[in-house]
Amino acid sequence: MSEPQPLPGRSRADLESFRAEQQEAYDALVASGLKLDLTRGKPSAEQLDLADGLLRLPTTTTTSDGVDTRNYGGLAGVLGLREMFAELLGLDVDQLSAQGNSSLTLMKDTLTYLWLRGGVDSERPWGREEKVRFVCPTPGYDRHFALLEWFGIEMLPVPMTEHGPDVDAVAALVVDDPTVKGMWLVPTYANPTGQVTSQEVAERLASMPTAAADFKIFWDNAYALHHLSAEETKSADIVSLAAVAGHPHRPVVFASTSKITYAGAGVAFVGGSRETVAWFHDNLGLGSIGPDKVNQLRHLEFFGSAQGVRDHMAKHRDLLAPKFAEVERILAERLDGLGIAEWTRPHGGYFVSLDVLPGTATRVIELAKAAGVALTPAGSAYPYRNDPDDTNIRLAPSFPTLAEVTGAMEAVATCVRLAAAEKLLG
């Protein structure tokens, strides 16, 4: 089978013929009455079913160290669960706090405490600064950007590379500007590109000079355990790297079981230096007398050990990997060689990042919507929803069934082909 000729090099007559074929295929899609959704990286019902054993737990209400989980107290969470996830996240147990079900809530809380009170190493609360700015690797996580926008924090985009954020660009932004107070980073299987921040990049981020003495790295390790193959990528140990570099309070680590057990009833974690964790508890304790320790004990019994978590994640992998393989198969069969699309091939996480012909992402999403396939709005993975090249589309294949992933991706490929032909014909 001959390789397809790239669309940008074809004659106008060839392009018109190609567009007519894609229009016919697209009209058939619209007539078929699809109703499919690739917008959010939610666990499927089958993934949630994997954790239904939680509903029969805990078998006791008292922890092995004698804590009655039904009562007040224990602001740091159940010790045994913290020990388990400290091992998984590469932290000491006193560097990790176990809280409610949402790591995003912990991120908002941390920003709020920094804004109102300042951090361990702050001269004053961030809210009293003339301006606060954040480095935002892009494409990135839309909810991170929404939080910053809500606070009125200015966002400074830097590109993601195959090894993590462009560390030279980050270093240049932070070295002389004290208003740049922090950065976001999903270090392992980044949302949406799937890249993994290398040890070398993490070391530079931990050690780079910053004009702001209280510069923070919000290390959102949401997908640290979400592997799509038996090859399990290990996250860089940002907390140890920062301590060695003389910036122990720079990283604040976040993680959760939201995509491991129940998305709405899991456990979230916040970590960092011992002083950072104590600072978080000092602020948290004004509005809380302790998290849901019964739920934490339930999770502790359900997993049993750190290896129990890994074994559970292998079951998730068995459900997710075929869907990602189907995305790759269809994109490769329908778009490879046409010169109109590139996409990531992640080894973990929940997303595939698709870059289409510049200037066509909005049109692809518009076409897909009219054909009954919901995609994340164009620009979602960029600060202020501004994708300067109108090229990026985030695909989330976890929630639909495998058959639905097939139908949705065939539709997306057709929309990409049609939008590209329209663009090239002007």
Mean pLDDT for 342-355 is 97
Question: CA neighbours within 13 Å on the CB side: how many for 281?
Answer: 22
Distance CA(70)–CA(298), nearest Å, equals 12
Mean pLDDT for 122-137 is 97
7-47+311-425: which CATH number, 3.90.1150.10, 3.40.30.10, 3.50.70.10, 3.40.50.1970?
Answer: 3.90.1150.10
Residues of the chain with CATH 3.40.640.10: 67-305
| H or E, element range at 195 | none
Which amino acid appears at position 272 of this protein?
G
Per DSSP, the chain holds a count of helices (H) and strands (E) of 13, 13
Identify the pLDDT of residue 281: 98
pLDDT at 329 over 70: yes
164-165 and 373-374 beta bridge pairing: unpaired
Mean pLDDT for 152-161 is 97
> Would you call 25 exposed, middle or buried from its count of C-beta atoms within 10 A (0-12, 13-18, 19+)?
middle
Mean pLDDT for 82-94 is 98
pLDDT at 109 over 70: yes
Provide the phi-psi class of 137: left if phi over 0, else alpha when psi is between -120 and 50, else beta: beta
Distance CA(117)–CA(284), nearest Å, equals 12
Confidence of residue 297 (pLDDT cuts 50, 70, 90): very high
Model pTM score: 0.96
Identify the pLDDT of residue 185: 98
pLDDT at 191 over 60: yes
Residues of the chain with CATH 3.90.1150.10: 7-47+311-425
Identify the pLDDT of residue 60: 97
Identify the pLDDT of residue 66: 96
Distance CA(394)–CA(400), nearest Å, equals 15
Cβ contacts of residue 21 below 8 Å, gap of 6+? none
CATH class of 67-305: alpha beta
DSSP state of 310: H
Identify the pLDDT of residue 276: 98
Long-range contacts of 88-91 (CB under 8 A, 24+ apart): 88/224, 88/225, 88/306, 88/309, 88/310, 89/221, 89/224, 89/235, 89/253, 89/255, 89/269, 89/271, 90/234, 90/235, 90/237, 90/239, 90/240, 91/239, 91/253, 91/271
Cβ contacts of residue 31 below 8 Å, gap of 6+? none
Q: Which neighbouring-strand residues pair with 36?
A: 373
For 7-28, what is each residue's pLDDT tens digit? Answer: 999 999 999 999 999 999 999 9
Which phi and psi angles does 242 have, rounded to 5°? -70, -40
pLDDT at 3 over 90: no
Which amino acid appears at position 342 of this protein?
E
How much is the mean pLDDT over the chain?
97
pLDDT at 145 over 70: yes
Q: Which of 266, 374, 307 is nearest to 43 (CA)?
A: 266
Distance CA(332)–CA(134), nearest Å, equals 36
> Would you call 139 exposed, middle or buried from its count of C-beta atoms within 10 A (0-12, 13-18, 19+)?
buried
DSSP track, 196-210:
---HHHHHHHHHS--
For 358-386, what is each residue's pLDDT tens digit? Answer: 999 999 999 999 999 999 999 999 999 99
Identify the pLDDT of residue 184: 98
Query: Three-class SS of residue 86?
Result: helix
Identify the pLDDT of residue 1: 52
For 241-278, what is each residue's pLDDT tens digit? Answer: 999 999 999 999 999 999 999 999 999 999 999 999 99
pLDDT at 2 over 80: no
